[in-house]
Amino acid sequence: MKKQILTLAAISMFSISMAQDIPSSQVPSVILNQFNKNFPKATDVEWEIKGNLYNVDFETGWNVDHEVWYNAEGKMTKHKEDISLKELPKAVHNKIKTNFKGYTIDDLKRITDNGKVVYKMELNSLLNQDWDVIIDANGTILSKIAD
């Protein structure tokens, strides 16, 4: 019993250290100011601390989901956003048409991580294996995992 309690306590502490919801009043003003400047029309804003980064989930426009990470100095380090097919670069679109003919694209996201942009998506087929794929802006497949 004592071992189970210690295990449960350790799991709880680990969960708390992974991410912690916080009110916007606990977000440093340098981060809030930068966020409000970058996303003045953000709605449904939810903040968390993840490690030494501040993470914010929110929506813009027609329910477009965003997830952004800021460091303590207010610099955006990562931005994940839902995008439409028309926002895909031509190189990415061509790679999909060539390598995944007959597949449909679902759950399309643009991820900017320290200035590097990649596109993450689910590729679905009625006849073939579905895939979770990450492609860079030049059309290079970086990851292809069976779904």
Residue 96 CB neighbours (<10 A):
22
- Percent residues over pLDDT 70 in the chain: 88
Nearest to 96 by CA among 142, 141, 143, 147: 141
Q: Is residue 8 part of a domain?
A: no
**How far lies 131's CA from each of 48, 51, 87, 92, 135, in Å?**
30, 30, 20, 15, 12
pTM: 0.81
Q: Could you list the residue range(s) of the whole structural domain that residue 33 is in?
A: 20-77
pLDDT digits (tens, 9 = 90+) for 85-115: 999 999 999 999 999 999 999 999 999 999 9
Indicate the residue type of 144: K
Picking from 77, 95, 120, the residue at the C-terminal end of a domain is: 77
Nearest to 103 by CA among 52, 147, 45, 48: 147
Q: How far apart are CA 115 and CA 95, in angstroms?
A: 22
Picking from 50, 77, 104, the residue at the C-terminal end of a domain is: 77
Give me the number of domains the chain comprises: 2
> Do 72 and 112 belong together in one domain?
no
